[in-house]
Amino acid sequence: MSEEAELVARAQQDPAAFAPLYQQYVRPIYGYCYQRLGTRESAEDATSQVFIKALAALPRYKDRSFRSWLFTIAHHVVADVHRKRPHLPLADDWDVADGGPTPEEHALSAESERSIRALLHHLTPDQREVVELRLAGLNSLEIAAVLKRRPGAIRGTQFRAYHRLRELLSQNKEAGDGI
């Protein structure tokens, strides 16, 4: 039994034993929620909801990737927040990357967060979800579990999303202005 599986088993017996799992996953879950929701307050609220729901559902948790299970909950919480939000137009004044580094390098760079957020809005909703989960640190198999899709479909969607991001960065560089 893995260390994580032992932590989960202990937490299923004693909710106070959930603390190490919370500490391990709070930052990645918060990062994912922030990436999807865009504000610190919304991300904090969503992160709280994720862990409240996870703790409540923990007795029913079955053997599968705990990380995927937790990100599935996060995915649903974020979707609920988006459903409840009024649709607002996108801001026209967001900063846009200069096109130098690849999308993967931008995602790793904290300074370009706003640029990536702006570029992600040019992707399809499926592509944006896959990239945001990838930025949160999930691999293709975990993303497939969260989105309930085949890993091959996830890899294809990710490939198309990165291709589109490269096109946008190239257009931006050629135009010398924002997207």
Residue by residue, DSSP assigns 52-85 as: HHHHHHGGG--SS-HHHHHHHHHHHHHHHHHHHS
Q: Report which of 14, 119, 114, 129 is spatially closest to residue 72, judged by C-alpha positions.
A: 129
Query: Would you say 157 and 130 are in contact if contact means Cβ atoms under 8 Å apart?
Result: yes
Q: How do residues 105-132 score in pLDDT, each as one tens digit?
A: 545 554 456 666 778 888 999 999 998 8
| Cβ within 8 Å of residue 77, ≥6 positions away | 33, 46, 49, 50, 53
Instruction: Look over the chain and give the mean of its residue pLDDT values, rounded to a whole number.
Output: 82
Tokens of 165: 């991001």
Which domains are assigned to the chain? 3-84 (1.10.1740.10), 103-175 (1.10.10.10)
The whole-number pLDDT of residue 20 equals: 92
- Residue 100: which pLDDT band, with cuts at 50, 70 and 90? low
User: Is the pTM here over 0.75, yes or no?
Assistant: no
Whole-angstrom distance, CA of residue 129 vs CA of residue 131: 6
The whole-number pLDDT of residue 19 equals: 92
